[in-house]
Structure 1
Amino acid sequence: MNIGLFTDTYFPQVSGVATSIQTLRRQLEANGHKVYIFTSTDPKVKKGTLEPNVYRFASLPFVGFKDRRITYRGAIQAVQLAKKLELDLVHTQTEFSLGVIGKFVARQLKIPVVHTFHTNYEDYLHYIANGKIIRPGSVAVIARNFMAGMTGIISPSRQTYDTLTKYKVKAPIEIIPTGVNVLHGANEDTSAKLRVELGLAPNTPVVLSLGRVAFEKNLDDALSVFAEALETVPEAKFVIVGGGPAMEALQEHVSALEITDHVIFTGEVNHNDVYGYYKMGDVFVSASVSETQGLTFIEAMTADTPVVAIHSPYLDTIVTDKNIGQLVDDSFQLLEPMVSYLQAKEMGTVIGNPDARQQVLHEIDERTFGKRVIDFYAEALAVYHEEEDTEAAEANDVEYSKTFLLRNPFRRDNS
């Protein structure tokens, strides 16, 4: 198959969505398929940079998310390019600009279009005018209108599936959790080198957070709990890997807690070192309640690093043994398991059953993910009918696009 992935977010942008798309591309190509990325321009990618099978369209920073991009033209060029590449299927990864272009391309070529719903936008409304413009109920309208006419929808988790059902999305939905690489070589473990660079002794207990440093991640709560943990494990360090809009506020919070000497902010790091950071941690801690698939959690699991996090429908299915991690009801309950794993590091003890981890690793293996998506594509091709009411479908797409160009798309809608 020749597959077009349409996304506003792609490397070098740092996000779970970009990582998920790269994983999918790698697995599709490993199975003999041709993959073409249709994405936005990025100031970090110099003009003329060679990116095989990646096509970038003129874009601007998105309101509220300066590190995310929105394409403002290129639909006709995308159709021409898609015809030249002889695309068999379009897979959109965004509900915004390139998602709309992807739907337009599929309509013009009369090929199936499927979509992955990555983000629960209700958790991110505060980025746009402090949540005063977009209301949670409006998100359902936007999502439902965008996904009208899709051949099928991929949901990364049961939690997202339930959200889409609540939104009354009519297209067929299948739950396919995003996979990660579970086969790491010894050369990828740079944890010893990283400890030296960060001034950490080999036996220093380390709490790790890795990902976008954003307010919805509730890192301030995790740090407050860590401050309490220091009373029991005084040698521990909290390493925060990543960058984002909450960095300054978080640094001030660390100062107020008087734990500056125990917290290390690395900023954004080279993607090749990410596994090393996971291996360096003795426990991966998160107080976030906004994760729909939580790639960082399962990446930590591949490094044998236990996860301590808040219960979610997705995590409940994979954190099934204390060797994998522990889930709690709220951030206040993070303390006990955090201390438990840090003390296990100091005493050299093993918590839980290591065999339980192996079954989970199969489920989160990127090869399992790739096979499930390929099967989903085959089904989409089998059920696709060219005799769809194209005129009505295009009218819906045009109306959806206008909401972002001509007027407030987030008006109250009770439908």
Structure 2
Amino acid sequence: MHIALVTETYPPEVNGVAMTNQRLVRGLLAKGHRITLIKPRHQEAPPAEHASLQVHEVFGIPIPNYAGLKLGLPRPGELERLFEADKPDIVHVATEGPLGFSSLRSARKLRIPVSSTFHTNFQDYCADYGAAFAARWMMAYLRWFHNQCALTTVPDPSLIQRLEKDGVQRLQMLGRGADTVLFSPDKRDPELRRSWGATAHSPVALYVGRVAAEKDIPLTLEAWAAARKHCPELKMVVVGDGPVRKKLERQWPEVHFAGMRYDEDLARHYASADIFIFASTSETFGNVVIEAMASGLAVITYDYAAGKQFIQSESNGHLVSLADRQSFIQCTESVIQEQSKMPPIRAAARATAINYPWSATIDRFNHLLQKAAKTEQITPQIDIVSNSEQSTL
């Protein structure tokens, strides 16, 4: 099958959506499919890594406050001509930005089946960036976008329920897995720990992800600071970059901000910590949770998304009721006060991750794409949110 996969983020960019797309592309190539990858142009992007992979790059403009990330802006007619020449069996749109919108319209005009993935709760991000008033408009656009598709994959059952209530149709569960070869306790590095000021016996807490408002890193750091009162040698490491990093570095000079880390280096950072503190409430899934579990860390997170899917509290990690900030801090304190309970929980976390390989995700995605490719267009093409939709806003 010939699959056109459209995304506005892909490695060398580092985020959950980019890394997920790369793993899906590699998995589909391994199954013998031909892939046309459509994404914004990136100077540091490596050449195509497989004979059956064609990369089509479009012009992009930088996203404010997100170094390295771009919105794709294809030329008028560019994607229509590409699809007409390449004749993909299906177009899978992974992001809903300008590039995704152009791909959706072009494919539907040519009557090529389209599938999509709901990766990001953009409607929730509006409040984090001072635009809460726009949340309903954003949800209206996302609903319109995904309802033009034969199916939309979603990584979490609870999110499916929420989106169905918001009127999004034809949703299909597509779980995520862990690369348990890359992310492993075996990657633990004593020298790296020493660079953080940690000894062999002092615990290290870790956060990995975008350093952005929607991740609520201040709560993660507040929880660490509270736990540190019980264990002064507890270190804190933040891996990632983003618009609030400099502000947090000024506010928290005792925290080690490691910046962006990749591949084996990222795996070393995971494995060299002991506790993973993740206070974000904006995830559709949260790849970092299963990566931390695969690395053998004791995870503290909220009871939703990846945490809800994989963690049994007090058995292979620790869950806190969603958005209960005080309980989150108290849970972190308790974990540090009861460090003797940590080894079996960390071992159980690793064992859980091993049971969720990426190969199962690839098989499921392959099945869904084949299903969508056989689907006739079932909704009329509409250029913008319908008048009835607008009247409710």
- Secondary structure of 1:124's match? helix
Match of residue 213 from structure 2: 215
Match of residue 384 from structure 2: 399
Cα distance in 1 for partners of 2:161, 2:33 equals 31
Cα distance in 2 for partners of 1:184, 1:375 equals 26
| CA apart distance, 1:80 | 3.1
- Secondary structure of 2:233's match? coil
The residue correspondences of 1:200-349 to structure 2 (distance < 5 A) are: 200-254=198-252, 260-261=253-254, 263-329=255-321, 330-342=324-336, 347=340
Gapped regions of structure 1 (runs ≥ 5): 255-259, 404-410
Contact 1:148/1:169 (<8 A) preserved: yes
Match of residue 361 from structure 1: 354
Instruction: Please list the CA deviations of residues 265-284 of structure 1 after superposition, one character each: whole Å capped at 9, or x if unmatched.
Output: 11112333111111111110
Instruction: Please list the CA deviations of residues 298-341 of structure 1 after superposition, one character each: whole Å capped at 9, or x if unmatched.
Output: 11111111210122154222112534211112232234443454
The reply to whether residue 175 of structure 1 matches residue 173 of structure 2 is yes
Gapped regions of structure 2 (runs ≥ 5): none
Match of residue 5 from structure 1: 5
Cα distance in 1 for partners of 2:188, 2:367 equals 36
Q: Which aligned segments of 4 or more residues in structure 1 are displaced greater than 6 angstroms?
A: 185-188
One-letter code aligned to 2:131: G
- Secondary structure of 1:368's match? helix
Give the % identical residues: 26
- Secondary structure of 1:99's match? helix
Closer/same/farther in 2, CA of residues 308 and 37 from structure 1, 3 Å limit: same
The reply to whether residue 385 of structure 1 matches residue 376 of structure 2 is yes
- Secondary structure of 1:332's match? helix
| CA apart distance, 1:236 | 0.8
Q: TM-score, normalised by structure 1?
A: 0.83
Closer/same/farther in 2, CA of residues 355 and 206 from structure 1, 3 Å limit: closer
Contact 2:62/2:68 (<8 A) preserved: yes
- Secondary structure of 2:297's match? coil
Contact 2:278/2:301 (<8 A) preserved: yes
One-letter code aligned to 2:13: Q
| CA apart distance, 1:74 | 3.2
One-letter code aligned to 1:310: Y
Match of residue 373 from structure 1: 365
The reply to whether residue 124 of structure 1 matches residue 125 of structure 2 is yes
Match of residue 101 from structure 1: 102
The reply to whether residue 51 of structure 1 matches residue 42 of structure 2 is no
Cα distance in 2 for partners of 1:92, 1:169 equals 16
Contact 2:143/2:167 (<8 A) preserved: yes
Cα distance in 1 for partners of 2:152, 2:318 equals 31
CA RMSD of aligned residues (A): 2.9
One-letter code aligned to 1:140: M
Report how many residues are paired.
386
| CA apart distance, 1:16 | 0.9
Q: TM-score, normalised by structure 2?
A: 0.88
Closer/same/farther in 2, CA of residues 173 and 219 from structure 1, 3 Å limit: same
